[in-house]
């Protein structure tokens, strides 16, 4: 009887050690994936920013793009100030907070009824552009309120 209890305890110890080893391996794998993700983001930042080996910025890279939120995000991921959480479903800061909590809402000035699926993407984009123009006191060059291709950068501006 004593031997049976001792054997069961030994089996439990072995199982616990195996579980700890698996958890450690998973943590190491997660860490190596985070490192790889940071390296990729850093490469994206350097490539998209036009930074070359001499750390000078390519003259073809627009100032607007250099100041974009996308590049800022890539830089922060590259510096590991922002990472993907363990579940892989959101970006978190160094304190574990979801970064989406700090992002401005680009549609905050629109009413729920302003946009709809039935309008289609183009009409909804026109509505967003109109709202942005009114909020920033910018007027369209032709004052027609229509969305022309040259206005798309204003609608999707992230800088």
- Beta partners for residue 84, in sequence order: 91
Asked if residue 145 has pLDDT above 60, the reply is no
Distance (Å, whole) CA 78 – CA 70 = 12
Distance (Å, whole) CA 46 – CA 31 = 22
- The three-class DSSP label of residue 51 is strand
Whose structure tokens read 């958890």?
A: 23
Query: What is the DSSP secondary structure assignment for residue 62, as one 8-state letter?
Result: -
Q: Which residues have CB under 8 Å from 93's CB, separation 6+?
A: 81, 82, 99
- The three-class DSSP label of residue 7 is helix
CB 71 within 8 A of CB 49: yes
75-133 residue pLDDT tens: 999 999 999 888 888 889 999 899 888 777 666 666 666 777 677 777 777 877 777 77
Helix then strand count (H, E) for the chain reads 5, 2
Tokens of 135: 């909020």
Tokens of 39: 């390296």
Read off the pTM. 0.49
């Amino acid at each position: 009887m004593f031997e049976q209890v001792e054997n069961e305890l030994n089996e439990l110890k072995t199982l616990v050690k195996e579980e700890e080893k698996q958890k450690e391996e998973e943590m190491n794998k997660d860490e190596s994936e985070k490192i790889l993700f940071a390296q990729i983001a850093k490469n994206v930042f350097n490539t998209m920013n036009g930074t070359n080996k001499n750390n000078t910025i390519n003259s073809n890279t627009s100032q607007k793009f250099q100041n974009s939120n996308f590049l800022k995000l890539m830089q922060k991921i590259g510096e590991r100030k922002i990472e993907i959480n363990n579940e892989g479903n959101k970006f978190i800061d160094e304190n574990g907070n979801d970064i989406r909590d700090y992002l401005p809402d680009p549609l905050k000035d629109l009413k729920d009824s302003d946009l709809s699926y039935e309008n289609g993407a183009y009409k909804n984009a026109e509505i967003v552009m109109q709202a942005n123009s009114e909020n920033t006191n910018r007027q369209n060059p032709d004052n027609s309120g229509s969305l022309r291709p040259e206005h798309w950068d204003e609608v999707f501006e992230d800088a």
